[in-house]
Amino acid sequence: MIPLLLAAGIGGVEGDAPGPGVLETIWGISVVRGLAWSLVAALLVITPMALFAIWLERRLSGKMQARIGPNRVGPEGLLQTLADGVKLLGKESLVPTQADRPLFHAAPAVVFMSAFAMYAVLPWGPDWAPTSLAVGLLFVLAIGSLEAIGVIMAGWASNNKWALLGTMRVAAQVVAYEIPLGISALVPVLTAGTMNVQEITAMQGGGAWNWGLWWAFPANLVAFVLFFWAALANLKRAPFDLPEAESELVAGFHTEYSGMSFSIFFLAEYAAMFVLSGVASCLWLGGWNTGIPGVDVAGMGVWGNLLGAAMVAGKAMLLVAVMMWLRWTLPRLRVDQVMRLCWKFFLPISLACLVWAAAWVSVVKPMLGGNG
């Protein structure tokens, strides 16, 4: 059902040819349609995925802290998140009297929509992609900045000092991580010659040594690591969780949110973790390619696409698990340390990667004669 919908999303636009002087708006339509399909997919696939990720986080943290974690509701506690969700649904959604009501209500919606809109460019299989945007990767980065605006909106509208401090930290963090995030994502774009995530993924067929990770060695390897760290800062995950630092700021920007609006922030965080990991896996880890020579997903029809979707989900979930592992391992950085790390280390290193990738594409690759 869902794959059907996804596949229909990239089908052609039918309809009468427009008259003279009438502008066709095909690109806009295909984006809107991609967003519509990704919303459908969001409700049917991504929400369970996020619920699973929340369960995974709680169980993993339990393991790392030598305790058990939730294990009562459903097998191995798998339904615990669902139970919590139902509980949160039943809770009263409080709005502080001094809060800015319209902004306070709009903020979770902005964060939620932007987290889910990113799924519009995540390819699940050779034939299954909600959209095939030529500017796919830039789209992810653009939507990511929209999400930051939603977070700032939430903190500002709450009219609470903890929330305001969290907001200032978000704003400072956004300008710091966005540049290395964008530049490290440009490295595979430069080596592949396209920003279309689906096309970049398709170039990584065959063995795992063809994956983007090894392109223009070591530029893409380093860029992958940088992208992962900058994505952590984007997701406000430890060690970059200053905007919601619970030991200093109560809960930072979402201090005043309760009930359903809180759970929307929570769900959006896990949805965004999954989609950024998915995009990283498509850029560097082969996406829907299996990495086993001879097992070519592209020629296997529906089953190949299913296998591809499983590959994307598995790789993304693996990266999500690493994020969780880091959260329970590393202490939180200070604000000045985040700034220094992003501006003085991530940025120059990512620029160096970009220069090396450019040199690779223009000088080394023609010399080697291959497409290594």
Which residues here bind other proteins, judged by CB under 8 A? 8, 10-16, 18-33, 100, 102-103, 106, 132-135, 138-139, 141-146, 148-149, 152-153, 156-157, 164, 167-168, 171, 174-175, 178, 182, 195-196, 198-199
Distance CA 256, CA 209 (A): 48
Residue closer to other proteins (CB basis): 78 or 142: 142
Residue 311 CB, nearest approach to other proteins (Å): 21
**Which of 37, 57, 59, 39 shows the shortest CA–CA distance to 47?**
39
Residue 28 CB, nearest approach to other proteins (Å): 4
Residue closer to other proteins (CB basis): 19 or 369: 19
Query: Is residue 291 classed exposed, middle or buried when 0-12, 13-18 and 19+ CB atoms within 10 A define those classes?
Result: middle
Residue 177 CB, nearest approach to other proteins (Å): 11
Q: Which two tokens stand for residue 82?
A: 């669902």
Residue 159 CB, nearest approach to other proteins (Å): 10
* Residue 266 falls in which region: left (phi positive, over 0), alpha (psi -120 to 50) or beta: alpha
Instruction: Give DSSP secondary structure letters for 196-225.
Output: -HHHHHHTT-SSGGGSGGGTTTTHHHHHHH
Residue 38 CB, nearest approach to other proteins (Å): 15
250, 197 contact by CB (below 8 A):
no
Residue closer to other proteins (CB basis): 22 or 66: 22
335, 242 contact by CB (below 8 A):
yes
Distance CA 177, CA 347 (A): 9
Residue closer to other proteins (CB basis): 81 or 167: 167
User: Radius of gyration (Cα) for the chain, nearest Å?
Assistant: 21
Residue closer to other proteins (CB basis): 40 or 295: 40
Residue closer to other proteins (CB basis): 12 or 294: 12
38, 119 contact by CB (below 8 A):
yes
Residue 66 CB, nearest approach to other proteins (Å): 42
